[in-house]
Chains A and B, each alone.
Chain A
Amino acid sequence: MSLTILLLVVGALLLASLLVVPFSRHPLGRAALYGAVGTVCAIALATSLGALLGGGEPSAHTLPLGIPWLHARLRLDALAAFFLVVVNLGGATASLYAIGYGRHEHAPQRVLPFFPAFLAAMNLVVLADDAFTFLFAWELMSLASWALVMAHHRSEGTARAGYIYLVMAGFGTLCLLLAFGVLAGAGGGYGFAVIRTQTLVPWQQSVVLLLVLLGAGSKAGIVPLHVWLPLAHPAAPSPVSALMSGVMTKVAVYGLIRIVFDLAGPPAWWWSIVILIVGGTTAVLGVLYALMQHDLKRLLAYHTVENIGIIFIGLGLALGFQANGMPSGAALALTAALFHVLNHSLFKSLLFFGSGAVLAATGERDMERQGGLIHRMPITATTFLIGCAAISALPPLNGFVSEWLTFQAILDSPNLPQWGLKFLVPAVGAALALSAALAAACFVKAFGITFLGRPRSADAAAAREVDRFSLAAMIFLAVLCILAGVLPGFVVDALSGVVRELTGGGGLPRQSSLPWLSLIPLSPARSSYNGLILLIFLTFTSTLIALVMRRLASHAVRRAPAWDCGFPDGSPATQYTAASFAQPIRRVFGSTAFAATETVEMPEPLSLQPARLQVRVRDLAWDWLFAPIGAAVDASATRLNTLQFLTIRRYLTLVFAALVVLLSGLALWQ
């Protein structure tokens, strides 16, 4: 039943993307489309939530579509249901947000048709139960999002972002295609049910892991395959950026989990080493890159890379426990990872909505031209602040809970027998702690420079609060961030079905029936956390202090110019900027992490030229990996160009030579 509704939802979304084409320039068409998409997503959300909480048997369905002998197989199990919740929660809030935000869209005909198609494709990826449907939906997701990235194709940098995204998406799909090829084996069974029954030899499993890591990882944005992400995510319209960062990366994580935990068979212990190294590196480098950005949306996009790293750390630990037959540890680590998937989809969508609101209000993405928006956009600022606090893992919000669970999983891992893991896990723990601390610095910067201080441009000084729909979407997500942080037991319980399905163990003990709704993942003697008590405690204490201060303290408040150590300068240019805020951290980490260089141009005495400080921060993945590949492709293309101007005789010789080489290759293979 649930599956049927979800399939109808996918169908409705695809239909909507076709139907909207003639009306896409009309304001009513826009509102109607986003309203309808939001409603449909809300239905899908309710259905998948029901399926997740109901915990029934997986339901499957076969549609007579696609390749004739295969048909399109679809299946709804707990894992799929959880990711459908994430997808449709993001979809519903993004639609709500877009009802208002879409007003600022100057080319709606390039956004409207692809928006529902993108959502439908993401739903379909999660529902797919055979390799063909999965890859088809995956490619549809890539293409629809590519079209949305290219919506503002005349803006500077968008064309380049779109091109790089297209190349990386193609590469990712190719890797997944090959991975499924290996999984299906010689028999060519492309249904997931058939793949599950097959046993692969270890080298095949390793090839699958590597290909999936490249394929799904490039979509999720692991370092060093992340280069497209900070270009493409910010280039799209803000609700789409939120979907790409908050939801599409999670669909990529779903692909990884589905293949590695479900299809590829029992894991080897060294898989967790690979994933942990990738996760730890991604987490630290992602947040360091984010800290160096001064474009608000690009900062958020880079920060997505960090969060993917945190999710990968959880997944890697889960694999390590799983491979060693330690189901409780695996359940804990997997719960942490999935909890972070949900959390990140909540606060990253919220923050992208906020950045969209800033963009709509000031017309600027550059933080160096913002400032003081908290005075003119109080609600946006407050919700953005909640998002920032949540993503910086501050208690009692939700980001802290998933990081806390990940830390608990790390503390549970000394029992892992392999020496490689024993050495690696503490280092990964340090990387996680470092990235959490740097994330706080990053979001002090993001919020502080954008919303606090004095306006750095006329646009920022004239900003207005955004419309009600956008605000409603942001408030809704902010409330969810608080709820998930204060009542984490319910989320952990909702995840227990997924965890049991994937680890085969009993999962974590039931949380929501514990006294005071505390979170006790392993045993009360080991660790417990209670966001609710903490919130009550904090609220009670601050109220008490406020009352005491009200009674005892002087009430006098005088407004005066800022003191600033007696340095009277009214110019907002004397404030700290995004670049200057990040300067100490750049000094500490920058020279190694991204070859940061500073050049100072001091004018001669008596010269009237301004002094200049130029800071260059490079993405090393680009310099060391992608630029050489690009150069090699260019060079070989130039060389091979001569092949286009041969005589017919030479062409025939070439064809013959190719035939001989292929046939001899075949002969050797046999």
Chain B
Amino acid sequence: MAVAADWMVQGLQMLLVLIVAPLLTGLVRWIKARLLRRRGPSVLQPYRDLMRLVRKEVVLAESASWLFRAAPYVAFTAIWVAAALVPTFATGLLFSWSADMIAIVALLGTARFFLALAGLDVGTSFGGIGSSREMMIASVAEPAMLMAVFTLSLLAGTTQLSSVANFMLDQAVGLRISLGLVLVALLIVSIAENARIPVDNPATHLELTMVHEAMVLEYSGRHLAMIEAAAFLKLLLYASLLACVFAPFGMAAAGDGPLAYLTGIGAWLLKLTLAAVLLALFETSIAKMRVFRVPQFLGTALMLGLLGTLLLFVTRSV
């Protein structure tokens, strides 16, 4: 019975992240539009976009190989699985022990690896510029993320995300300098990884400054739908990750009743809304930076993560 319940919760989480993800992106877009005094599309627009893309035919470049067609599936799967392993409304998910935070970071790396390859597959200059810059950004963002993960795991004594959330929830963690450093580092990495302003602009096209959009420029139809959905999921993943580590309030523990789960879902949706508002505010108040300023921006995150780890190493009494 308990096993069945575990399966239910895990399955529910997988479905829930998939359903909520476009809503989060729609919400961010809508708030941004309102902040710019535009009316903005409905928050449901991302769903309509996905449906439209799914129904359209795929226009495939003549030089595209099987990798180009497989990459959206690989990327989407990797990100979906990663998102399914980040506790959202409840900790202690059925599969959470099969991959810890390091594995989640690496799963996102897998998705990026295949999308970057797909960018090179058709053999156009835009695809190349996108892949090359995406990998450049990732080459600093991923270590920064890992250092943040190190700090969290040293603090909580585990690399399991569920246990980290429990640790934050149960004990009087209090204010820690390293925790503050990690928060800033994680925020910077989240912005970079989700191709948000000031690192990249998700709304732009036909600009030499674009990174992620240039990489997936050749995609159309259902493939593009998968990639868009993967991007939605990734934003949701990072928002849930930040919420689960820094604001684990209201999360249900494993084996709690349906009521606790409902509360958890409600709390999670609230947290996501807050994240959407903050992200939209941040994005409207800042300008995009030049590509070669990005490594410095991310270097800050790397240094903060390293400092956090170092502090914990040094303060650990023997």
Query: Which A residues are closer than 8 A to B by beta carbons?
Result: 371-372, 374-375, 378, 385, 389, 392-395, 400, 404, 407-408, 410-411, 413-415, 417, 419, 422-423, 425-427, 429-430, 433-434, 436-438, 440-441, 443-445, 447-449, 452-454, 516, 518, 524-530, 533-534, 537-538, 541-542, 545-546, 549, 552-554, 556-565, 567, 572, 574-576, 580-585, 587-588
Q: CB of B120 within 8 A of chain A? A: yes
Q: Are B123 and A556 in contact (CB under 8 A)?
A: no
Shortest beta-carbon distance from A556 to chain B in Å:
3
Q: Are B60 and A558 in contact (CB under 8 A)?
A: yes
Q: Are A588 and B136 in contact (CB under 8 A)?
A: yes
Indicate which residue in A407, A438, A447, A533 contacts B139 across the interface (CB closer than 8 Å). A438
Binds A, one of B1-9, B76-84, B250-258: B76-84
Indicate which residue in B66, B121, B143 contacts A433 across the interface (CB closer than 8 Å). B143
Shortest beta-carbon distance from A389 to chain B in Å:
7
Q: CB of B125 within 8 A of chain A? A: yes
Q: Are A588 and B77 in contact (CB under 8 A)?
A: no
Q: Are B97 and A530 in contact (CB under 8 A)?
A: yes
B residues within 8 A CB of A530?
A: 97-99
Indicate which residue in A526, A527, A557, A588 contacts B292 across the interface (CB closer than 8 Å). A588
Q: Are A372 and B63 in contact (CB under 8 A)?
A: yes
Closest to A394 in B: B110
With A441-B139, A559-B60, A580-B132 as known contacts, state yes or no: A538 contacts B310, CB within 8 Å. no
Q: CB of B40 within 8 A of chain A? A: no
Closest to A582 in B: B132
> 24 interchain pairs (CB within 8 A)?
A385-B117, A395-B103, A395-B110, A404-B102, A410-B150, A411-B153, A411-B159, A429-B146, A434-B139, A444-B113, A528-B98, A530-B97, A530-B98, A530-B99, A545-B76, A549-B226, A554-B55, A557-B58, A561-B62, A563-B218, A575-B123, A580-B132, A581-B132, A582-B132
Q: Are B120 and A444 in contact (CB under 8 A)?
A: yes
7 new A-B contacts at CB < 8 Å, known A429-B147, A575-B125, A588-B139: A372-B63, A422-B314, A444-B135, A453-B123, A527-B159, A558-B60, A563-B124
Shortest beta-carbon distance from A600 to chain B in Å:
17
Shortest beta-carbon distance from B100 to chain A in Å:
5
Q: Are B95 and A389 in contact (CB under 8 A)?
A: no
Once bound together, how far apart are the Cα atoms of A529 and B153, in whole Å? 15
Once bound together, how far apart are the Cα atoms of A565 and B139, in whole Å? 27
Q: Are A423 and B310 in contact (CB under 8 A)?
A: yes
Per-residue CB contact flags for chain B residues 66-94 toward chain A (1 = under 8 Å, else 0) read 11000001101110110010000000000
With A537-B95, A562-B63 as known contacts, state yes or no: A554 contacts B56, CB within 8 Å. yes
Once bound together, how far apart are the Cα atoms of A565 and B129, in whole Å? 13
A residues within 8 A CB of B77?
A: 538, 541-542, 545
A residues within 8 A CB of B165?
A: none
A residues within 8 A CB of B124?
A: 562-564, 567, 574-575
A residues within 8 A CB of B140?
A: 434, 437, 588
Shortest beta-carbon distance from B104 to chain A in Å:
9
Closest to A374 in B: B65
Q: CB of B133 within 8 A of chain A? A: yes
Q: Are A437 and B73 in contact (CB under 8 A)?
A: no
Cross-chain pair count, CB within 8 angstroms: 291
Indicate which residue in A437, A447, A529, A576 contacts B117 across the interface (CB closer than 8 Å). A447
B residues within 8 A CB of A413?
A: 313
B residues within 8 A CB of A393?
A: 106, 109
Q: CB of B126 within 8 A of chain A? A: yes
Indicate which residue in B60, B128, B226 contacts A576 across the interface (CB closer than 8 Å). B128
Closest to A541 in B: B77
Q: Are B221 and A554 in contact (CB under 8 A)?
A: yes
B residues within 8 A CB of A415?
A: 316, 318
Once bound together, how far apart are the Cα atoms of A561 and B59, in whole Å? 9
Query: Which B residues are closer than 8 A to A by beta carbons?
Result: 54-63, 65-67, 73-74, 76-78, 80-81, 84, 95, 97-100, 102-103, 106-107, 109-110, 112-113, 116-117, 119-129, 131-133, 135-136, 138-143, 146-147, 150, 153-154, 157-160, 163, 206, 217-218, 221-222, 225-226, 291-292, 295, 302, 305-306, 309-310, 312-314, 316, 318
Shortest beta-carbon distance from A541 to chain B in Å:
5
B residues within 8 A CB of A437?
A: 109, 138-143
A residues within 8 A CB of B84?
A: 537
Shortest beta-carbon distance from B297 to chain A in Å:
12
B residues within 8 A CB of A392?
A: 109, 113
Indicate which residue in A422, A452, A552 contacts B120 across the interface (CB closer than 8 Å). A452
Once bound together, how far apart are the Cα atoms of A482 and B122, in whole Å? 27
Best-buried of B66, B127, B132, B135 by chain A (most CB within 10 Å): B135
Q: Are B113 and A440 in contact (CB under 8 A)?
A: yes
Once bound together, how far apart are the Cα atoms of A452 and B99, in whole Å? 31
A residues within 8 A CB of B54?
A: 549, 552-554
Once bound together, how far apart are the Cα atoms of A453 and B305, in whole Å? 37
With A394-B109, A414-B154 as known contacts, state yes or no: A529 contacts B133, CB within 8 Å. no
Once bound together, how far apart are the Cα atoms of A564 and B139, in whole Å? 25
Once bound together, how far apart are the Cα atoms of A448 and B134, in whole Å? 14
Shortest beta-carbon distance from A471 to chain B in Å:
17
Closest to B157 in A: A526
B residues within 8 A CB of A404?
A: 102-103, 106
Shortest beta-carbon distance from A509 to chain B in Å:
16
Once bound together, how far apart are the Cα atoms of A419 and B315, in whole Å? 11
